[in-house]
Amino acid sequence: MPSLQQRLRFNLSLWLAARILPFRVGQRPLDRVLALAEPVRTGRFHGLPPGYISEHVLRTTRHPWLMRKRRCLRQGLLGYRFLAEAGFCPELHFGVDFRSLRTGDEKAHCWVSLDGVSVVNDRMENMSTVLVHSSKGRME
């Protein structure tokens, strides 16, 4: 189990990042939004288990004042960043419900996976993956 100091440092960093992120995202283009998800320093939270990180990301973002309609994006960006900072190789997935495009009520979703398993948010039914951003810095 990670030390109390490491957990406190993680929780404080996550809390601050979650509060600042809506102002940093704004209406930026996707490439600049993805840059916000990149780790500040890889290995900074080495030793924290992925379940601990994802649980705290979801807990920290459960009552949003900002980005209410983009909660999964906020959770995805934070989950991706902090998992990468713990030394993992997460993937950030973006999906679209193509049927919703015909109705004018576009529906999109974002989730994070490790080794093919969703760890922050789940892939929603009817969502087709349109982009996967990996910690290697490439988009597929």
pTM as predicted: 0.88
Query: Residue 25 domain-assigned?
Result: yes
Query: Residue 70 domain-assigned?
Result: yes
Provide the number of structural domains found in the chain: 1
Given a cut of 70, whether residue 64 has pLDDT beyond it is no
Query: Residue 110 domain-assigned?
Result: yes
Q: Whole domain around residue 93: which residue ranges? A: 4-134
Query: Residue 79 domain-assigned?
Result: yes
Query: Residue 88 domain-assigned?
Result: yes
Query: Residue 97 domain-assigned?
Result: yes
The residue-averaged pLDDT of 37-64 equals 89
Tens digit of each residue's pLDDT (9 = 90 or more) over 80-108: 999 999 999 999 999 998 877 778 778 88
The residue with greater pLDDT, 84 or 64, is 84
Q: Is 94 exposed, middle or buried (0-12, 13-18, 19+ CB in 10 A)?
A: buried
Query: Residue 139 domain-assigned?
Result: no
**DSSP assigned state of 123:** P
Q: Rounded distance, CA 57 to CA 14, Å?
A: 7
Query: Residue 140 domain-assigned?
Result: no
> With left for phi above 0 and alpha for psi between -120 and 50, is residue 47 left, alpha or beta?
left
